[in-house]
């Protein structure tokens, strides 16, 4: 009989982390960013039907990079958690913080249990508040840790590079078109620094719009509205040029003049 | 398995098990005891007194449907509540009005709204109007035990069918039997009187404005002859709830809008107590 090899706990965890990270890196990155009237989710996704972003509850959205079947499972678990909680208590008692905690526990449990392979996913749970100060964005890496993010966050293979790019350029109170433009720019930069074009059909865009009159704030941006916003963002190069945006975007109400918020 | 959803620990295994897109199916597997139909009923003697909601009316017009309800809840011969709400949005393109035991009905509506929303979030697509109507049927059927003890819930379901591009109305009986109504429908204790009024006033080319006036006329007639139905309460400024569902989605008339219609109906009734006359032939 052979004796099993001794593997130190540090080594075992490092191996599992590397396995998960490699899996996540195979997928494309995505960006979640605050803008004046809410939170925008932007990612490259050739599929029209298999979404990376979705609604969890009234003010809570979900974004995921990595293995589809694994994050889809977590997404549905989250919808069930939120709906059950809202049904037993009240709709206001469903919060992103609560959901992020449950996800962190779940991912952490899976990561440190030897019976299961670690999930190759990285999640973002975002909740839009009544004001930009009330917005919450949580990033949940594969190991069950939880990071409270502000302004912008990127997850996926190329996340670190994109985050650095975004941190330098993201400002409070950007209009939706500006935020969208910045997100697309950050996503279209390759690891070696060269830029490529991402056509509108390959973009998946969704928003949590605090100005939406409905109770449910999540909305997908597709088709004409998406191309109009992309054009608009491209036409106004200078950030802070809110006048033209406010005019063109009056219909969705998502580009109100952010006033004193712009530094 | 941690069956307690209130704990903040890891998601219970049932949450991560692939299954149906129905919230009710999920509940019946994971926490069956909180489903309304699964409650243990104690043996009762006589009829349990609980507030009842009364009259709900619906009218279709080219382009949509109007659903409206009075505001009175009664318990025996006592007025239990003067400003109860009995008409609720079910989702973006449908609404449900409830007559019967108020407590159970409001809970049923809450679960129904959640059922539609849950399906939409999980599947990424909405149910067909027919599918929604069938789902409501199932829920009423699960309440049959209580209905037989006198705690019946009889809703009226109305919605805009996006595929057929028209408003549709579904009525139910206590056993969950479902039937589609054409033109107009009513449920609750005042429904016979409301239906009589609508029968005389309805035609198939109503405008949205005429349809909203028609439902208030019908509710007035119901309140006129049925003691459990409340008419417009001028002193307290409590007016019927009127909702319109069209291709633009669900909209509830503001208090201002419904009070204007209610006032004009009331004013005409001061001259002509029995309301508008239909031609004899």
Is A56's CB within 8 Å of B121's CB? Answer: yes
Q: Is B184 left (phi over 0), alpha (psi -120 to 50) or beta?
A: beta
Q: How confident is the model at residue B110 (pLDDT cuts 50, 70, 90)?
A: very high
Give the end-to-end CA distance of chain B in Å, rounded to a whole number: 71
User: What pLDDT is attached to residue B7?
Assistant: 56
User: What pLDDT is attached to residue B8?
Assistant: 53
Phi and psi, residue B167, nearest 5°? -80, 145
Sheet holding A203-209, edge to edge: A152-155, A30-35, A38-44, A203-209, A218-221
Q: What are B175-216's pLDDT values in tens digits?
A: 999 999 999 999 999 999 999 999 999 999 999 999 999 999
User: What pLDDT is attached to residue B198?
Assistant: 97
Asked if ipTM goes beyond 0.85, one says yes
User: What pLDDT is attached to residue A237?
Assistant: 45
Size of the A and B interface in Cβ pairs below 8 Å = 63
- Share the mean pLDDT of chain B: 92
User: What pLDDT is attached to residue A239?
Assistant: 41
Mean local confidence (pLDDT), A52-67 = 96
Q: What are B74-100's pLDDT values in tens digits?
A: 998 999 999 999 999 999 999 999 999
- List the catalytic residues of B: 54
Burial A53-70 (b: 16+ CB within 10 A, else e): bbbbbbbbbbbbbbbeeb
Whether chain A has a CB inside 8 Å of the CB on B125: the answer is no
Which tops the pLDDT comparison, A79 or B45? A79
For A89, the closest chain B residue by CA position comes to: B6
User: What pLDDT is attached to residue B239?
Assistant: 97
Chain A residues whose CB is inside 8 A of the B6 CB are: 88
CA neighbor of B102 nearest in space, from B133, B132, B71, B58? B71
Strands (E), chain A: 30-35, 38-44, 53-57, 60-66, 121-127, 136-140, 147-149, 152-155, 203-209, 218-221
- Given a cut of 60, is residue A48 above it in pLDDT? yes
Whether chain A has a CB inside 8 Å of the CB on B5: the answer is yes
Q: What are B37-62's pLDDT values in tens digits?
A: 777 777 767 667 788 888 999 999 99
User: What pLDDT is attached to residue A2?
Assistant: 73
Lowest mean pLDDT of A115-129, B46-60, B221-235, name the range. Answer: B46-60
Residues 242-261 of chain B whose Cβ lies under 8 A from any Cβ of chain A: none
Is B118's CB within 8 Å of A98's CB? Answer: no
Q: Are A48 and A6 in contact (CB under 8 A)?
A: no
User: What pLDDT is attached to residue B38?
Assistant: 76
Residue whose tokens read 């208030």: B216
CATH class (in words) of the domain with range A26-235: alpha beta
All structural domains of chain B with their residue ranges: 50-271
Among the partner-chain residues A83, A98, A102, the one whose CB lies closest to the CB of B114 is A83
Give me the CATH code for the B50-271 domain, please: 3.60.20.10
User: What pLDDT is attached to residue A192?
Assistant: 72
User: What pLDDT is attached to residue B150?
Assistant: 81
- Given a cut of 50, is residue A236 above it in pLDDT? no
Whether chain B has a CB inside 8 Å of the CB on A109: the answer is yes
Beta bridge partners of A30: A43, A155
Phi and psi, residue A103, nearest 5°? -65, -40
């Amino acid at each position: 009989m052979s004796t099993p090899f001794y593997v130190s706990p540090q080594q075992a965890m490092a191996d599992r982390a590397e396995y998960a990270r490699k899996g996540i890196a195979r997928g494309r990155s995505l960006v979640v960013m605050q803008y004046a009237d809410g939170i925008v989710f932007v990612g490259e996704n050739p599929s029209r039907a298999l979404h990376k972003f979705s609604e969890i509850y009234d003010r809570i959205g979900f974004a995921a990079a990595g293995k589809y079947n694994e994050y889809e499972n977590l997404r549905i678990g989250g919808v069930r958690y939120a709906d059950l909680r809202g049904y037993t208590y009240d709709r206001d008692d469903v919060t992103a913080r609560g959901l992020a905690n449950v996800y962190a526990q779940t991912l952490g449990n899976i990561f440190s249990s030897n019976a299961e392979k670690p999930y190759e996913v990285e999640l973002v749970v975002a909740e839009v508040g009544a004001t930009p100060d009330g917005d919450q964005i949580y990033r949940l890496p594969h190991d069950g840790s939880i990071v409270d993010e502000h302004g912008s966050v990127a997850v996926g293979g190329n996340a670190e590079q994109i985050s650095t790019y975004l941190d330098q350029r993201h400002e409070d109170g950007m209009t939706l078109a500006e935020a969208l433009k910045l997100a697309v720019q950050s996503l279209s930069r390759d690891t070696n620094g060269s830029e490529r074009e991402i056509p509108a059909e390959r973009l998946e865009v969704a928003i949590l719009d605090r100005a939406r009159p409905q109770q449910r704030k999540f909305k997908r941006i597709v088709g004409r509205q998406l191309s109009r916003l992309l054009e608009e963002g491209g036409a106004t190069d200078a950030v802070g040029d809110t006048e033209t945006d406010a005019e063109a975007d009056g219909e969705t109400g998502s580009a109100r003049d952010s006033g004193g918020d712009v530094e | 398995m941690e069956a307690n959803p209130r704990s903040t620990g890891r998601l219970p295994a049932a949450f991560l098990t692939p299954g149906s897109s129905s919230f009710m199916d999920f509940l019946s597997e994971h926490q069956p005891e909180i489903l309304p139909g699964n409650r243990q009923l104690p043996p009762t003697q006589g009829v349990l007194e609980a507030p009842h909601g009364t009259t709900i009316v619906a009218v279709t017009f080219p382009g949509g449907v109007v659903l409206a309800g009075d505001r009175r809840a009664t318990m025996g011969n006592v007025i239990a509540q003067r400003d109860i709400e009995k008409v609720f949005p079910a989702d973006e393109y449908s609404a449900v009005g409830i007559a019967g035991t108020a407590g159970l009905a409001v809970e049923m509506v809450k679960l129904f709204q959640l059922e539609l929303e849950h399906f939409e979030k999980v599947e990424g697509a909405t149910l067909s109007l027919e599918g929604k109507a069938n789902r409501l049927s199932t829920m009423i059927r699960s309440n049959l035990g209580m209905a037989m003890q006198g705690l019946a819930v009889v809703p009226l379901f109305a919605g805009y069918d996006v595929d057929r591009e028209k408003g549709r109305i579904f009525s139910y009986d206590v056993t969950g039997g479902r039937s589609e109504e054409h033109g107009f429908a009513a449920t609750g204790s005042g429904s016979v009187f409301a239906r009589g009024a609508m029968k005389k006033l309805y035609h198939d080319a109503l405008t949205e404005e005429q349809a909203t006036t028609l439902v208030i006329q019908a509710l007035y007639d119901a309140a006129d002859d049925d003691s459990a139905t409340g008419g417009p309460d001028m002193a307290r400024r409590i007016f019927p709830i009127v909702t319109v569902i069209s291709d633009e989605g669900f909209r509830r008339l503001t208090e201002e809008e419904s009070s204007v219609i209610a006032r004009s109906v009331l004013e005409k009734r001061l001259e002509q107590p029995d309301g508008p006359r239909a031609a004899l032939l």
